[in-house]
Amino acid sequence: MTERQSRWLLVLVLAAQLVLLSSQVPGSGREQSLLETWSLRLVSPFARLVEAASRGLAEVGDGLRTRAQLEQANELLRQRLEQLEEERIHFFGLEGRLERLNEAVLYEPPTSGPVRVADVVHVDYGVWFQTLILYVGTSGARIQQPVATSDGLLGRVVVVAGPFAKVQLVTDRAASVGAMIERTRRQGVARGGPDGTLEMDFVPLQADVEVGDRVVSAGIDGVYPRGIPVGRVVSVEPGNELFHRIRMTPAVDLGRLDQVFLLEYETPPESIVGLSDAQP
Amino acid sequence: MRSLRFGAGLLVAIVLHVVAVRILGELSPAVDFFLVVVLFNAVDGNLVAGLLGGVAAGLTADALTGGLFGLHGFADTVIGYSSALASRRIVIQKAVGVMLLFSLAAAVQQALIVGLRLVLLPEAALPTVPGIAARIAVVGLLGYVGFSGRGYFTRGLERWRSSRRARLR
């Protein structure tokens, strides 16, 4: 191929890639492309293999424990089990009381489906975007499916490729979560901030916010269920004339991700969501 | 043979990328093994190989990272083609020259990605200057080490072949 022909090929390839890029610009509500799905399907098995090998090596090191260490760990686990049993009895009583109250006011809470465990195959600490790739097995995952850990909310599924799924983390600059301050129930929008932190927007200056307040998902965005911890407030400053400038640390330690939970959460149908934009 | 070599390089880049993320954590964006593969593939001056290598490696990097799919694909395509073109025009014989070429390519790649991000998603955050500088330095260093290593290996192989030939005679 001559230099001139290769130049035309370059122009064609770049134009095709620009079309691919601009088709994704709307951002959060973007459709996944076939090329992206297939790339993820091809690359993820290698990432999974390397991850499994390094995990295996780490487990060999962890497996070498002395008897004294095992006895100590056993004692700690026993104490923890007793503590959890006490908490379980306490929450069992509370749950019964809550159910009776719900029945009294004819309130039917939204149903939450089963939780599924998925292995983390790869974490990306990119400057602009933060994602992770999961191995979800043959049962797959669905787009917009919420992902969490036992500590709190992690993000949502944005690409599904067979047994693999790509998750956009809540700390991603392009991600946003309908959130509320647990103590006061004041709602706002949590977004990814600089250096892996979170920011909470649209909380008016009159609202009561304190450092240390826990922020949970509000269940108003049609993606995430209500009440999952998102982060904790670390600073509150007057941002502009109307709103606070709130910074938070994420509830989940992103450096220790090993296994995560895929939440089965019934989102409102598109036909109903679309009605909010309709003319009266 | 060439495509096999490139495929093997890409596989090694995937493995190194995953391992680097596990070991370096949040410092891992300072290393771009895919760009190094693109540059080594393009440095002999084959334009089409440089271009297609850029597409393949860039899209692989996109599959393992988040955000707009095709961002690295676009940037690495430009880098692969222009590096091959530059290698046709200038002859680089010293490892320092390769290091400079690799560093320049990393800088141009970052400029392209930042430019595209500003055009397509203007509200997005930009990388820090130390972050970009670290990436440029690391890619340059990998180019230097890779080129020197290849030189040592080729010379060693040549010496072994000639001594074997002499022994056979």
Domain A30-64+110-266, architecture per CATH: Beta Barrel (2.40)
pLDDT band at A106 (very low <50, low <70, confident <90, very high): confident
Instruction: Provide the pLDDT for residue B21.
Output: 82
Q: So what's the pLDDT on residue A278?
A: 44
Q: Do A123 and B14 touch (CB under 8 A)?
A: no
Model confidence at A126, pLDDT cuts 50, 70, 90, reads: low
Report the pLDDT averaged over residues A51-60.
76
Burial class of residue A119, CB neighbours in 10 A (0-12, 13-18, 19+): middle
A66-88 tens-digit pLDDT: 788 888 989 999 999 999 999 99
C-beta of residue B80 within 8 angstroms of C-beta of residue B97: no
Nearest residue in chain A measured CA to CA from B45: A3
C-alpha distance from A238 to closest chain B C-alpha (Å): 21
Say if strands A131-135 and A112-124 run parallel, antiparallel, or are unpaired: antiparallel
Q: B80 touching A, CB under 8 A?
A: no
Q: Is the pLDDT confidence value at A226 over 80?
A: yes
Q: How much of chain A exceeds pLDDT 90, in percent?
A: 27
Verify whether the Cβ–Cβ distance A131 to B67 is below 8 Å.
yes
- Taking a contact as any Cβ pair under 8 Å apart, which residues of chain B between 32 and 71 contact chain A? 47-48, 51, 55, 59-60, 62-71
pLDDT for res B107: 94
Contact A50 B19 (CB under 8 A): yes
Contact between A40 and B63 using a beta-carbon 8 Å cutoff: yes
* Alpha-carbon span A33 to A270, nearest angstrom: 21
Domain extents in chain A: 30-64+110-266, 65-104
Task: Locate the chain A residue with the closest alpha carbon to B65.
Answer: A124
Contacts of B71 (CB under 8 A, 6+ apart): A21, B62, B113, B116, B117
Q: Which residues of B touch A169 (CB under 8 A)?
A: 66
User: Which pLDDT tens digit goes with each residue over B6-16?
Assistant: 999 999 998 88
State which residues of chain B have pLDDT below 70. 67, 122-125
Continuous segment of H or E residues that includes residue B130: helix B129-168
- pLDDT tens-digit readout, A165-195: 989 888 887 788 999 999 999 999 998 887 7
Mean pLDDT, residues A150-170 taken together:
89
Cβ of B131 under 8 Å from any chain A Cβ? Answer: yes
pLDDT at A137: 86
The alpha carbon of B50 is separated from its chain's Cα centroid by a whole number of angstroms, namely: 11
Angle between helices B71-89 and B95-120 (to 10 degrees): 150
Cα(A1)–Cα(B47) distance, rounded to whole angstroms?
A: 9
Amino acid symbol at B132 = I
pLDDT digits (tens, 9 = 90+) for A128-140: 567 788 998 888 8
pLDDT at position A27 = 46
The pLDDT of residue B8 is 92
pLDDT tens-digit map of A16-46: 888 888 777 654 445 566 777 777 888 788 7
Q: Which of B26, B65, B70 shows the shortest C-beta gap to A129?
A: B65
Report pTM. 0.69
pLDDT > 70? residue A272 = no
pLDDT given at position A31 = 57
CA angle A22, A23, A28 (to 5 degrees): 100
Task: Decide if A35 and B59 are in contact by the 8 Å CB cutoff.
Answer: yes
Q: Which two tokens stand for residue B109?
A: 């790649």
Contact B63, A43 (CB under 8 A): yes
